[in-house]
Amino acid sequence: MSEQWADRLKYLWPPVLIALVFLGAWQALVVLRNIEPFVLPAPSLIGQEFVGDISLMWQTAYYTGTTAFLGLVFGTIAGLAMALLAQRFVVVNNLVTPLAAGLAAVPIIALTPILNNMFSITSRTPRVLVTAIIVFFPMLVNVTRGLIQVQPTQLELMRSMNAQPRTVLRVLRAPNAIPFFFTGMKVAAPLAVIAALVAEYFGGPQQGLGSRIASSAANTAYGRAWAYVVAAIITGLVFYLIVVAVERWTTPWTGRTRSA
């Protein structure tokens, strides 16, 4: 048990040390150069605002996190469904992949106002749809690669045994796609938080991190605006760490493969 904690500390202390050095340098720069908060607030001011109203930070992060989670679920389901069709039918792969790439290239700030006009601006629907669209592309690309890029010898063996396509999918393609799935999730989970946060800038309910950052900056409460940014960073990290934990729990052999 002590060896496990020693291994974890070995990997934890470098980023912690870098973060402390970075924050110390930031604090010293603001104090020594007498930089105004509207230009760059000090970490001490940001921490004071964050800790001073921690309950509101939690509620706001929870609202944005819920929106991001819904978009992540719907985008993942759509990406998985389309990836299954793309590996089965070449024409679907040739048609959908370029369209999905084009859709992913559309900026979030262009999608959100359009969806706000299509749906009720007071609901979460536009934000969830924006998040789902952003999540859809990395999930589609990664899962499709995992389903298609199987070992030729294994595929030939399955065909020599006259295996049905659904049997090949269940026995060969789906297990091969699991690492690709989690790779896509590691990209999509933080992106979901970013998409939900940016979508909240364009009107609607004011409970989310994006709207709170915008309103705080408009009211010259720059320390509080940066405190909401910290809450957004923490939310994105939580999403990413949950994906990593689920990956290690469901596919422990991947970690052993990397270590070997």
Is-contact 189 242, C-beta < 8 A?
Answer: yes
Residue 71, pLDDT above cutoff 90: yes
Task: Reply yes or no on whether the pLDDT at 178 is more than 70.
Answer: yes
Residue 238's pLDDT is what?
94
Average pLDDT over residues 162-169: 79
Cα distances from 169 to residues 85, 158, 163, 174, 247, in angstroms, run 11, 10, 10, 6, 21
Does the pLDDT at position 236 exceed 90? yes
Better pLDDT: 39 or 13: 39
Tokens standing for residue 21: 């050095």
| 162 vs 6 pLDDT, higher one | 162
More confident residue, 227 or 86: 227
How many percent of the chain have pLDDT more than 70?
Answer: 92
pLDDT at 257: 46
So what's the pLDDT on residue 124?
Answer: 85
pLDDT digits (tens, 9 = 90+) for 190-220: 999 999 998 888 766 778 888 888 888 888 8
Q: Are 226 and 213 in contact (CB under 8 A)?
A: no
Query: 191 near 236, Cβ under 8 Å?
Result: no
pLDDT at 107: 75
String of b and e for 39-75 (b: at least 16 CB within 10 Å)? eebbbebbbebbeeeeebbeebbebbbebbbbbbebb
The pLDDT score that the predictor gives to residue 260 is 36
Confidence (pLDDT) at 59: 92
d(CA 173, CA 166): 9
Q: H helices then E strands: how many in the chain?
A: 12, 0
Across 62-85, average pLDDT? 93
pLDDT band at 233 (very low <50, low <70, confident <90, very high): very high
Across 86-104, average pLDDT: 77
pLDDT at 116 over 90: no
For 88-110, what is the mean pLDDT?
76
CATH assignment, 42-259: 1.10.3720.10
259: confidence class by pLDDT, cuts 50, 70, 90: very low
pLDDT for 252:
74
More confident residue, 239 or 257: 239
Q: What is the mean pLDDT of residues 83-92?
A: 83
